Structure 1
Amino acid sequence: MRKACLAACALAITGLATVPADARTMVAPDAATVPSHYQNFRAAIYIAVNDARALADRATFDRQYARAASQLHFDKVYIEAYRDHNFATDAELERVKSYFREKGVAVAGGVTLAAGGKNGQFGTFDYELPEDRAECERAVRLAAKHFDEVILDDFFFYTSKSDADIAAKGKRSWTQYRLDTMRDVARNLVLKPAKAVNPNVRMIIKYPNWYEHFQGLGYDLDQEAKAFDGIYTGTETRDPTLTDQLLQEYESYEIIRYYDNIRPGANGGGWVDTFSTRFIDRYAEQLWDTLFAKAPEITLFNWHPMSQPEAVDSGDRPWKNATTSFDWDREQSRWAAAHPGTPAGWGRAAGYALETIDPILGALGKPVGIASYKPYQSSGEDFLHNFLGNLGIPVELQPTYPTDAKTVLLTEAAAADSDIVAKIEASLRGGADVIVTSGLVAALHDKGFADLAEWTPTGRIVSVSHFVQGFGAGNGKSLDDDGAEPSSMLIPETRFYTNDSWATIRAVAGKKGYPVLLMNHYSKGTLYMLTVPENQSDLYRLPQAALTQIRSVVGRHSPVVIDAPAGVALFTYDNGAIVVQNYSDTAVDVGIGAEGATRLDAIGGAAALKPQGEMTGMMGDTRPAFATTIPPHSFKAYRIAR
């Protein structure tokens, strides 16, 4: 597989055009009228400007189109007009549009407002320079002239620190300067010029995957996101241990949910590329998780790998002989028999993944999860929600405080809200469970949090290796994995008052204990603190029994909790459907506790499950328990029957 993180990214959105038989001479209607090849989503391919210009040659188009269309169904393409100082011509754009319309494919435009880069680092325009501002506006006008829908690929951020930038920044922070600048650029160099050229154009901004750091580069999920006609989501997580971002698998689902809550009804879909994956299943997982989050469209970046004749390198896959959700060896054999002499490429990998997931999606309702609040322009405990998702905690991330939620999950990012302590208190007075992280406690301990619970970070970091459950009079119960070597990790120490608060899960070093899950009653509600290790990925090293007890607290008001090792995600829906996905390289046994369930009916081929006893939560609640085994890099979907 390709090792370099080639984040030349793209975007898609709901589009144009149903196409009559002789579309070559006709204007394409609205793309929403183009029948999708799939029942539950649309599929699109982004065509970067160099490929778009090459496709203006009819022989090249016919050859590449035949290869792409033989491997996967797609409903739409995004034809890029500009990237890195490279402009397509008017004639090239019109020819490529006409060729795709002939094939019944909807067309939209794309533009990447990037200025190239060097040494693998991205370069942006310097928006203090008149020549860069002029090039930005020229690119936007070109795209808007030819398309009624234009998407900004996710390079609409600002990295320059030229002398002109330094002078313009003045006493502002770099974050504030860049936010102010990019809001102005969005209004005056993108939206106004585009609408002047084409009053009917819909301008869509695609936001990438590194949302924790957006504000520092001028990306704004608040004012800017609302100024555009729509937004789009970069759902590429690539490999979680190889790439520089180290994004966790669950983010391909969670980020769609977050952006949906930022612009309800205006998030057009998700986008995945082929880069930096060590094995082919990881590519499929990104596509699936985007669609499990109910994205209406999936965009494949980009045309080049989808249309090239080479076989895809499937990577090192020790599980390749197992029957998995993405059974690539079986699909390759089927493909070879049907297309002798033509290898299966990236396009076929995408097509197979999409065909696999489509029948499942119609049975899934609206995604629901544990309400978690991340204010605009906030950061802290970076991307922790995705680590928690990889622990089997379904997270519904949102930019406003969830005042009506029975359970509220808050990380350090919530400290960006100056009223957060009052909001926590209101939830507790209303009878909610509020789970805060040790990072948030550290950020708020001298800002009024002590009025809720006198929990004090000591500043000491301790190495722990054993874990115990229990509180009140009596002995604790070991949560260590049977027969496994203890895993030492570093955690922050928090001081609390015995009998005022209870360490329901303790980490133990020698003969001293430290809270991992700390509980305090306040008014009608319960306040918990989850201690986050110094290295967040050490959460994956917690014993399974400890993880399951944490899940039972966080999911106390949820219809489903699971008993599984780390690396297993749970997606839940408002119609009683659930998906359990295994990201690990080996099969895992999973217990499913489903409230009030008499059985779990299979969705899409798995066998129905009958209850096998009960699952008991930390606070004594019980629910019927079911057992299943999930193969490596696979999922199973069920519907709760009551």
Structure 2
Amino acid sequence: MNSKIKVDKFVIVVFLLCMVCNMTMQAKAYESFKVSIYVRAYEVDKMKDIHWLDSTWNVISQQLEVDKIYLETHRDLLVVEDATLEQAKKFFHDRGIETAGGITYTINEANSFETFCYSNPEHRKMVQKIAEHTAKHFDEFILDDFFFTSCKSDIEIKAKGMQSWTDYRLKLMTEAGRDLVLKPAKKVNPQIKVIIKYPNWYDHFQGLGFNLEEGPQLFDGIWTGTETRDPAGNQHLQNYLSYNIIRYFDNLRPGYNGGGWVDVGGLNMGMDRYAEQLHLTMLAKAPEIILFAYHQLLDVKLSPKYRTPWQGMGTSFNYDEVTAPIRLEDGSLVEPTTMARIAGVVLKQTDKLIHKLGNPVGIKSYKPFHTAGDDFLQNYLGMIGLPMDMRPVFPEDQQVVLLTAQAAQDTEIMAKIKRQLQSGRDVVVTSSLLKAIPEKLTEVAELRCTDLKALVNDFGRYGQSGRDLLIPQVQYYTNDAWEMVSAGRPLTGGVSGYPILLRAPYATGNLYVLTIPDDMGNLYDFPANALNEIRRIMSKDIGVCLEAPSKVGLFVYDNKTLVVENFNDEPVEVRIVTGDKVMKLESLEDGTVLGPLPAGPVIQTRRPVTPKNSFRLLLLPHSYKAFRYK
């Protein structure tokens, strides 16, 4: 009898261990990151019908491996019932999928994202009740990126008083986060982890109450909206933002940025545009990506219209692979039907690369908290091959620091600039910053960014742009500053020219002024050789730089790896320029090796040029290559 009991106990223990191992194996779908899905309250509410839940999950899970599900409890005044939440949680737990909660604090999303009014007593009660309801069911929940306020009701106007909307909303939303969400949630569930997701429009946050100075310290974690969608949309988000914003938010509170978040936007431009958003999010070393949302992954069907004209050339993102039949674990084949399959293929492909990359490095750009000016410029610079690393604190350890108009609001900015220059290092300022603080910058050099404009299309020995570009006229005293790159209309054989990149020596360092066109998108029209000179001067801390046309991104890591990615609709030839000690580039994808090109003629400049090696490669449209340099 005792032996039978012992055997039964042994069998039970083995069974439980197998179950645990099986769940662990299921949860480890990817080597480098987690993949999660966010489910809106509308779809969570439908999960009261277990047959609907089972059938829809079957469609998604056959096409995409998923580690975690975020179940939203509220959106647009719809609150999901307790029983439905518990049933949905059990369904996913039984399949080895983690769950967490989610809240979208909207009154009516369809009405211009109508938000709660956080000085309205009735609204405050609702906000708190929703947080408490969610904390009952989960040990973690995320606030979708509507935890801001655009409300200008009579109550809010009275409460604001004489404050600016920015000052009022920053204080209001910080208090609401602390007193209406965090404290009540933790009272209900002391183990709760509350994460705030910040959207992609970071340069405008302060005007709606998102507080990047206090919020990341207040909440248990942050999340990053990496959706860039169609650059022609109202926000004009550049592809590079999907990478850059992760890096910026990482620097707000290192170690507390949970990951990125991408929705279906941009798929109208073709599969590649959606794929790039996923890929760039992971190139920034995000530990997790949330796919928004369950209904899109279920309802947006695969279509030939998503197959771009350059497919079939061997590009990185292969539509034919996406639409090929899927072999399931039991050996059967199913046809992919929805956009979930795009995410599945792209993320599996990216997963093979990410663990080989180190920590991202870039040109440090100082953005003080709650500042505007040169809005989103760093994303345009990333699109011309300048790796960006935005920081909320002035970096003191770099050979080159980039300052945009945002730095004008730092009252101590000149002391920081002079300290950088007097230590033998460089500062690059934009023409917009020069215009914002001309009197202060005269302490270094008597430069002026005037109200005058110039049309230019000829960059002299650096080539020509394909169109006329409107730029501000930067003026300086002859022989006190030097034009590194110039432009006119024409410049060669013309009668006037204007600085595009200007150098003003100070102590043992250099102040550079980078002229930004009135339309930032015209940076993409700069000729490749002009961009090459700008990259050479700004990339001293990176160790490598790019020679290429615009719309080619460079992503560099601290373990001597890099990724170069073409965002153009046509193939481009690029050169990766390294120090002269680097003798080969080894592909991280297939192990092939590139050797350096023979030394060629050097374009003469007014400053000595350090010996370099360069490596030539062809990049297909919307494709990337990854290397280790040795």
When normalised by structure 2's length, the TM-score is 0.92
Change (3 A) 1:274 1:22: farther
* Partner of residue 479, structure 1: 462
1:64 Cα shift?
1.1
Separation (CA, whole Å) in 2 of partners of 1:498 and 1:32:
69
Asked if structure 2 preserves the Cα contact closer than 8 Å seen for 1:309 and 1:343, the reply is: no
For residue 511 of structure 2, what is the aligned residue in structure 1? 527
Match for residue 629 of structure 1 among 600, 618, 626: 618
Q: Which amino acid aligns with 1:480?
A: G
- Distance, in Å, in 2 between the alignment partners of 1:21 and 1:441 is 70
Q: d(CA) in 2 for partners of 1:461 and 1:412?
A: 18
In the alignment, is residue 275 of structure 1 matched against residue 259 of structure 2? no
Alpha-carbon deviations, 1:471-524, whole Å to 9, x = none? xxxxxxx2115xxx7521110011101111001111113410111000011111
CA distance in 1, matches of 2:82, 2:194: 19
1:434 aligns with 2:427: yes
Residue 480 of structure 2 corresponds to which residue in structure 1? 500
Closer, same or farther: CA 303–282 of 1 in aligned 2, 3 Å:
same
Pairwise CA distance, 1:343: 3.6
> Aligned ranges for residues 222-237 of structure 1 at < 5 Å?
222-237=213-228
Aligned to 2:245: 255
Aligned twin of 1:320: 311
Tell me the residue number matched to 2:37: 45
2:52 corresponding residue in structure 1: 60
- 1:93 aligns with 85
Task: Tell me, yes or no, if structure 1 residue 391 matches structure 2 residue 384.
Answer: yes
Structure 1 Cα separation of the partners of residues 78 and 599 of structure 2: 63
Q: How does 1:559-578 map to 2 (within 5 A)?
A: 559-578=543-562
1:13-59 C-alpha deviation (Å, 9 max, x unpaired): xxxxxxx9899xx9x99x99984211110110001111111123211
1:457 aligns with 2:449: yes
CA contact (8 A) 2:60 2:297 kept: yes
Aligned residue in 1 for 2:212: 221
* Greater Cα radius of gyration, structure 1 or 2: 2
Deviation track 1:318-354 (CA, whole Å, cap 9, x = no partner) reads 1022111101123323549997673431111000000
| CA distance in 1 between partners of 2:217 and 2:385 (Å) | 32
Distance 2:167 2:15 in 1: 52
2:403 maps to which of 384, 387, 410 = 410
Asked whether the 8 Å contact 1:336–1:342 carries over to 2, the reply is no
For the 8 Å contact 1:480–1:486, the answer to whether it is kept is no
CA–CA distance in 1 between the matches of 2:599 and 2:151? Answer: 58
d(CA) in 1 for partners of 2:524 and 2:402? 19
| Structure 2 unaligned spans of 5+ | 1-13
- Counterpart amino acid of 1:264? P
- Residue in 2 that maps onto 1:381: 374
CA separation in 1, counterparts of 2:598 and 2:447? 38
Distance between the aligned counterparts of 2:355 and 2:318, measured in 1?
22
Where does residue 583 of structure 1 map in the other structure?
567
Match for residue 6 of structure 2? none
- Which residue of 1 is the match for residue 7 of structure 2? none
Paired with 2:300 and 2:559, the residues of 1 have a C-alpha distance of 43
Aligned residues, how many? 603
AA paired with 1:611?
P
Find the residue that maps to 1:215 and give its secondary structure.
helix
Q: What is the SS of the residue equivalent to 1:99?
A: helix
2:259 equivalent to 1:266: no
Give, in angstroms, the shift of residue 606 of structure 1.
6.4
CA distance in 1, matches of 2:591, 2:501: 35
Residue 176 (structure 1) aligned to one of 167, 173, 189: 167
Distance 1:351 1:315 in 2: 16
Name the amino acid aligned to 2:516. V
- Report the CA distance between 1:313 and its aligned residue: 5.7
Q: Deviations over 1:416-441 (max 9, x none)?
A: 21111110111111111111100111
Would the alpha carbon gap of residues 540 and 123 (structure 1) be closer, same or farther in structure 2, given more than 3 Å must change? same
Higher relative contact order (CA 8 A, sep 6+): 1
1:102 is matched with 94
Aligned partner of 2:286 among 286, 295, 299? 295
Matching residue of 1:609? 594
**Unaligned residue ranges in structure 1 (runs of 5+):** 1-19, 469-477
**AA partner of residue 204 (structure 1):** I
1:308, distance to aligned residue in structure 2 (A) = 4.0
Report the Cα offset of residue 63 of structure 1: 0.6
SS at match of 1:487: strand
**Matching residue's letter, 1:36:** K
Q: Which letter maps to 1:640?
A: Y
SS of residue matched to 2:624:
strand
Residue pair 1:83, 1:115 contacting (<8 A) in 2 also = yes
1:21·1:102 contact (CA, 8 Å) conserved in 2? Answer: no
CA contact (8 A) 1:544 1:565 kept: yes
Q: Is the 8 A contact 2:260 2:289 kept in 1?
A: yes
Q: 1:423 to 1:309 in 2, by over 3 A?
A: closer
Look up the match of 2:629: 640
Q: Which residue number in structure 2 is paired with residue 472 of structure 1?
A: none
CA drift of 1:62 comes to 1.2
1:331-342 matched pairs, under 5 angstroms: 331-335=322-326, 342=335
Distance in 2, Cα, partners of 1:506 & 1:561: 21
Between 1:542-551 and 1:326-335, the stretch displaced more is: 326-335
Higher mean displacement: 433-442 or 502-511: 502-511
What secondary structure, in the 3-state scheme, does the structure 2 residue paired with 1:458 have? strand
Among 600, 604, 609, the alignment partner of 2:585 is: 600
The letter of the residue matching 1:387 is Y
SS at match of 2:352: helix
Alpha carbons 2:361, 2:542 under 8 Å: kept? no
Whether the aligned pair in 1 keeps the contact of 2:325 and 2:335 (CA below 8 Å) is no
Distance in 2 (CA, whole Å) between partners of 1:428 and 1:322 is 48
Q: What amino acid is aligned across from residue 523 of structure 2 in structure 1? A: L
| Counterpart contact for 2:325–2:334, Cα < 8 Å | no
Aligned AA for 1:265?
Answer: G
- Counterpart of 1:135 in structure 2 is 126
For 1:134 and 1:33, locate their aligned partners in 2 and report how far apart those are by CA, in whole Å. Answer: 43
Matches within 5 A, 1:8-87: 35-87=27-79
Contact 1:336 1:343 in 2 (8 A): no
Q: Distance between the aligned counterparts of 2:245 and 2:337, measured in 1?
A: 30
C-alpha separation in 1, matches of 2:62 and 2:586: 35
Deviates more, 1:624-633 or 1:504-513: 504-513
SS in 2 for 1:203: strand
Instruction: State the alpha-carbon separation in 2 of the partners of residues 155 and 548 from structure 1.
Output: 40
CA RMSD of aligned residues (A): 2.2
- In the other structure, the counterpart of 1:475 is none
The reply on whether 1:368 has 2:361 as its aligned counterpart is yes
Q: CA deviation at 1:270?
A: 0.5
Deviates more, 1:331-340 or 1:176-185: 331-340
Could you tell me whether the CA contact under 8 Å between 2:546 and 2:574 is conserved in 1?
yes
Once the two structures are TM-superposed, the CA of residue 276 in structure 1 deviates from its matched residue by: 3.7
- 2:5 maps to none
Q: Is the 8 A contact 1:206 1:231 kept in 2?
A: yes
CA contact (8 A) 2:597 2:615 kept: yes
Give the TM-score taking structure 1 as reference length. 0.91
Structure 1: which amino acid aligns with 2:324?
S
SS at match of 2:545: strand
Is 1:209 aligned to 2:193, yes or no? Answer: no
